[in-house]
Chain A
């Protein structure tokens, strides 16, 4: 069995090499992809995939004893084409075969080690090596990198400029390390970040901490920027007999802007850093998308009154909540009533998630909507920003349950007139009906006639009572007058509440509370059905000033009151005769009442009379003789000259030009002008910080004591003139010389005139 063992070992070796071949391909490809993409994940992934694919092609498991023996037979002469013999059990073999088996086994034992199995290992090694080399080269030279994908962060060390004109002779403190740490607001759940790049971009509400390490002693350090100057905290320590200082500061920037550092070393020399930018990006409000919903939906009374929709909400740092604000309107015209409700979505909202898909089914019946009612709703989402969240609301959607009855005028079927409820019968209608009754008397039975007359009497009473309300009369029957003050409306804090008619607030408890209201009306007391009660409760309230005395409680002037009283007296009489089934006698009273009511109506309507303005006539002798005594000469004074907002910038451009031409040095006034110009430029630079940063920086250099080369001056001048807005056209100065020639000329002109 020794021979079989040898073959087995060889087979295993061969298989291993083939496996290895596959892995090599995978390794090469993995390294290549990993280097190119710069991501380990991609590398591992492609390693796995390529290894698998190449193994499928290579099929190392296909190598078995048969292929091995065949291979040995072809490759190894000493095997004498009998290697397969070794695999067989000696018992099954003939003697000769056994001899041959022994011989071959011996041969194989000695020779097989020298025989390398046929593999593509070399090729695989070369290919993977090439791939790795290529990958390294490509990643080194950035062959496949698009520049925008991974622009290397600018991480230059700050360069410190000596502010003083004379550079100190001793060794100045050296900046060893600079760090800026960004602490994002907590709600963003972003980890803090530390960078050496001093130009920072942060989210609104972030905190920034700078820490600068120096070799050498620093006396003081100042952070200048965003319109303020703040001292930095300095700490000293000595490591290995060398002075070390570090300066730290934490700032919470509220707006974009610039900053720089200024240091004073132990000997009083000043240094300033370059100017860096802080860009504060606001937290974007959540984005809302309402899907599967038309702007306007209408339902018939027998439809399933349900609205279904989904909403997609996304936010950059996390959503705090979302809800639906629904408003139900009842009625129309002036009597419209609103009721607001806050609905939540069917799913619960996971606070802090960045994207949400929410759905909602609104059942209109559950909102107690009736025919003709309308529903307006919108979706509102807010994010986690503190202290005040960003709120986004969707557009408003409408749903309406179509009313089956509409109040429009129409002539329908046999009905020639629009029938109004009985008690709204007017005096005129009563007269018409009474006359009709009288004319129809012959055809009617006695009872019928009396009953109809009685009915008319009732109508007359209703009408009287209706007018009586205006008079403040207490009703004796029918439409009841309820107590004016609703106990529920009483507010302990506000004793006058019940006496006022706060129409604006009447409906308030039906509206959704404002976002920052702490208490919720709905929780404290439920007025659910009260709205309908209060609608009926005090018809009079709107008109009366009820001061207990019904005689005083009226809207009308005395004469009107008298008229109305008279009219009601007439109505009493008219009713009396109608009740007595003598409509003929009732008619005169009705006419009188009608006439009085008409008069009252007309007198009340005087304000709507539209007539032109008739000025009182002016007497002829007064015409065109206006009295101007009170019209006096006036004299006013104003300074309207516009102050040039960029005066110092203009001045600086000129100063630079003059100094360059005359080869002069900058004076202190010049520097003052430059400092002012810097402030003016900063107002322009707010909008485009990157564009003007360099100019601001150089302008600052010019204000320092150190002398700057002319090309820096020129650059400042260039930046300033670039930033300056155009001016309006100005009037030039006309100057001239007046001499003998001019005198002669003028003399000549005069004589010619």
Chain B
């Protein structure tokens, strides 16, 4: 026996005592009459029953838990029916409409999940329940997609996906935000089709491309957004140092300067005599490297000989600038460097190869030096074909040092493969160029954010105690990481689909993300949900099958008792 309002026992007892004392005092004059004692007892009963009504008496009773079924989207009626036949008191939880309710969950010790499954952010609620996920039919449609959400102007947007169980003649179209069809594919009849749509980006900005699915009669089945952020090109400040002029450098500097990069080229003519060429920048010269003159550049391109011939001071300045300020260094190899196999921090492996190919230019052979770069701990490959590394960089402090074993790439331009040339050099040089250091950074904890679903993210910022504001002006609470002091965590529930951003108070930098509406990418969402549910709810868990529950007594009896007592007290004086 226990009370639900157990915390009120003492005050209630006090009040009961008080009330009874008032009654005794009022009847004190009639204490000599018979029934006084009887009346006092009745009064005590009445007051006590009032107190009990308030305190809600309850008792622990053993309760066996029921079996529940969680009905999520797309559940099969036949599966539910067979469960109903199996279990008499099946607790039906309608997840798709109501979500999970605690009382219902309390009543069940074992649950089946039918349909697509429970969202991962609700898994914690099912921790104490032995849950089994019952699979439904396989999903038809686009179940997996992959593409790069952030691109630079001129990059190809490559949209890869997996279409499960397509119907013959289904057509997928990639459309830009204006509605131009950029690429399309007609699906054949097979269990799974990997598709690949691509287009060249032309304009910087934030755009929503669309993937449109049409059946063979050209009816639009689905139209799903593909948010893309296209960054404007970045102009680099480049220093090229050569011991003698080469065609490779000549073409490289032409390519870079035509793309608007600021370039200073220093070619040695003879001892202490140089030829300086300034492209897209004001006239300047550079002789010995110092920290200050190197700080004017994002990237230094040197041939192997120049690098080896650097004076001690210049070398130190260069190394410091790389490590501390994140300057990029690209070393152009030559035959002597390759033959030495020593040199600039890269270890080489000789081979007999004369050329290689890079996808998607599979027909073009790029001439190479007869060596490749050895894999090392800190080495990151940039171009790698079948395990052979042709181009790579090594992280050195903040900066990177890179090289490439492609030889005489200018021949690609001469042979009409300018696009490949551009690809090689933009990729190589942008991998190594100096980073822009941002004051704060938003790290989303999940790639696809849906409307009304929790979106957790981490914010890294140098600001002491940051205050994050969503784009509707609401403050989002942040929690500091225990170990990393400049890292903060937060969660928001975006209400509107589309481009959203968060912003640090007193900071202009906006950190953006895209919110999908709940109808977008249904099949992909369902597929992922199923996968997650399968993973989560396959192992059997032992849970209690019964528990003791405080079961309140029906209070109406106390009320009746109270009424009876009052009635007696009312009637007794009348019949005397």
Residues on A lying within 8 angstroms of B by beta carbon are 628, 631-642, 650, 653-654, 656-658, 661, 714-722, 724-742, 746, 749-750
Contact = CB atoms under 8 A, between A and B. Distances in A.
Contact of B154 (A628, A639, A727): A727
A734 B258 contact: no
Contact of A641 (B177, B259, B283, B436): B259
B441 A729 contact: no
A633 B398 contact: no
B419 A717 contact: no
A737 B487 CA distance: 11
A715 B460 contact: no
27 contacts: A632-B273, A633-B275, A636-B278, A638-B279, A640-B280, A642-B258, A657-B206, A658-B205, A720-B178, A721-B178, A727-B154, A727-B201, A728-B154, A728-B259, A731-B259, A732-B426, A733-B234, A734-B434, A735-B435, A736-B441, A737-B438, A737-B460, A740-B484, A742-B398, A749-B397, A750-B323, A750-B397
B276 A636 contact: yes
Interface in B244-264: 254, 257-261
A716 B179 CA distance: 10
B108 to A, nearest CB: 44
B462 A739 contact: yes
A661 B180 CA distance: 18
A462 B441 CA distance: 106
A193 B282 CA distance: 62
Interface residues of B, number: 74
Most buried by B among A628, A728, A738: A728
Closest 8 CB pairs of A and B: A718-B178, A730-B233, A732-B152, A733-B234, A717-B178, A654-B205, A737-B441, A641-B260
Given A721-B178, A727-B200, A731-B430, A633 B441 contact: no
B437 A628 contact: no
B396 interface: yes
Contacts of A720: 178
A739 B486 contact: yes
Contacts of A750: 323, 397
B203 interface: yes
A51 B206 CA distance: 76
Contacts of A639: 279-280
Nearest to B262: A641
A730 B279 contact: no
A636 B231 CA distance: 32
Interface of B: 151-155, 176-180, 200-207, 231, 233-234, 236, 254, 257-261, 269-270, 273-283, 285, 323, 378, 395-398, 418-419, 422-423, 426, 429-431, 433-441, 460-462, 484-487, 498-499
A653 B461 CA distance: 33
B109 to A, nearest CB: 44
A718 B180 contact: yes
Nearest to A743: B398
A638 B273 CA distance: 20
A740 B484 CA distance: 7
A654 B499 contact: no
A749 B394 CA distance: 11
Contact of B274 (A628, A633, A642): A633
Nearest to A643: B260
A640 B254 contact: yes
A717 B395 contact: no
A727 B279 CA distance: 21
A657 B205 contact: yes
A746 B283 contact: no
Contacts of A727: 153-154, 200-202
Contacts of B202: 650, 653, 721, 724-727
A514 to B, nearest CB: 43
A653 B460 contact: no
Contact of A729 (B260, B423, B433, B460): B423
B325 to A, nearest CB: 11
A640 B252 CA distance: 13
Contacts of A637: 277-279, 281-283
Contact of A737 (B155, B200, B258, B437): B437
Nearest to B427: A729
B257 A641 contact: yes
Given A729-B423, A737-B441, A714 B231 contact: no
Nearest to A632: B273
A661 B206 contact: yes
A731 B435 contact: no
Q: Which of A631, A657, A741 has the most CB of B within 10 A?
A: A657
Contacts of A715: 178-179
Contact of A749 (B378, B437, B462): B378
B276 A635 contact: yes
Nearest to B423: A729
B257 A638 contact: yes
B463 to A, nearest CB: 11
A381 B434 CA distance: 69
B111 to A, nearest CB: 41
B498 A633 contact: no
B187 to A, nearest CB: 25
B231 A733 contact: yes
Contacts of A642: 258-260
Given A640-B258, A653-B205, A733-B231, 17 more contacts: A636-B276, A638-B277, A639-B279, A640-B257, A641-B279, A653-B202, A727-B154, A728-B422, A730-B152, A731-B430, A732-B152, A732-B430, A734-B435, A735-B436, A737-B439, A740-B484, A750-B323
Contact of B438 (A636, A718, A736): A736
User: Which of A642, A661, A715 has the most CB atoms of chain B within a 10 A radius of its CB?
Assistant: A661
A38 B431 CA distance: 72
Contact of B259 (A653, A714, A730, A733): A730
A257 B58 CA distance: 92
